Amino acid sequence: MRVLVVEDDAELGDSLRRALADAGMLVDLCGDGTEAEFLGVTETYDAAVLDLGLPGIDGVTLLRHWREQGAAYPVLVLTARTRWGDKRAAFEAGADDYLTKPFLHDEVVMRLRVLQRRAYGRAEPVIAVGGLRLDTAGQRFTLGGRPLALTAQEHRILEYLMHRKGQPVSRAELAEHVYARDLDPDSNTLDVLIGRIRRKLGTPLIHTERGRGWRLAAPDDGDDPAA
């Protein structure tokens, strides 16, 4: 899960970045509304955490600009403003959730996970493909009822494929969602990681879609499980 955090309080922004990173998320941190407007429409994010009181462009205006320019990912507003008028303005601009300060980092993580599920049209907290299951709340994979050991990068790749189960995911799309914006993976890096995940799964759940990328599905739903 790749998240843009827009917070002008440097200490709070850094603590959020570390908390989300500890939860397995990729985080871009920005403290200025003008820069955030550019990042929000030029980079690929699964969600954003947005403060309202920002230098450059205020949060409500920024959010409205994002939506007008086609940014459709969920946005969690995180602010000290508690008045109903501020909340209404944020939701009318396109916010998906609203959390007031002070807050618990765990609650921010939980709300982002819920927003991610809903963005992919999944209300259930557990996603299943064959014998593979992902508990999105606890971020735990099991295979045949047993824990599945994955590296952080493998986990992010398989998590994204789980959220997009049954749909082809291109190499470019997968890289955009599982790598930080300052990293440019080698051409065969994803192939190597997909191969390692396939070996750990032991069953052909990740299918190659020629010319389209990969698709996660039960064995009888795919036609080319080979790497």
Based on its alpha-carbon atoms, the radius of gyration of the chain, rounded to whole angstroms, reads 18
Spell out the domain ranges in the chain: 2-119, 126-221
Q: Which residues contact 2 (CB under 8 A, 6 or more apart)?
A: 25, 26, 27, 28, 44, 45, 46, 176, 177, 178, 180
- The pLDDT assigned to 182 comes to 60
**CATH number for the domain running over 2-119:** 3.40.50.2300
User: By C-alpha distance, which of 152, 167, 163 is closest to 213?
Assistant: 167
- The pLDDT assigned to 72 comes to 94
Peptide bond between residue 102 and the one before it cis (omega within 30 degrees of 0) = yes
- The pLDDT assigned to 225 comes to 41
- Please give the DSSP secondary-structure letter assigned to residue 121: T
- The pLDDT assigned to 211 comes to 82
Q: Where are the beta strands (DSSP E) in the chain?
A: 2-6, 26-30, 47-50, 75-79, 97-100, 126-129, 132-135, 140-143, 146-147, 206-209, 213-216
- The pLDDT assigned to 56 comes to 87
3-state secondary structure of 128: strand
User: By C-alpha distance, which of 215, 204, 195 is closest to 130?
Assistant: 204
Tell me the CA end-to-end span of the chain in Å, nearest whole number.
24
Q: How far apart are CA 221 and CA 208, in angstroms?
A: 12
- The pLDDT assigned to 224 comes to 44
- The pLDDT assigned to 205 comes to 94
CATH: 2.60.40.10, 1.10.10.10, 3.30.1180.20, 3.30.300.30. Which one for 126-221?
1.10.10.10
- The pLDDT assigned to 223 comes to 47
User: Can you read off the two tokens belonging to residue 57?
Assistant: 């462009």
- The pLDDT assigned to 177 comes to 85
Beta pairing, strands 126-129 & 132-135: antiparallel
Q: What is the pTM of this model?
A: 0.81
User: By C-alpha distance, which of 82, 22, 25, 84 is closest to 49?
Assistant: 25
- Residue 123 CB neighbours (<10 A): 7
Residues of the chain below pLDDT 50:
222-227
- Residue 32 CB neighbours (<10 A): 15
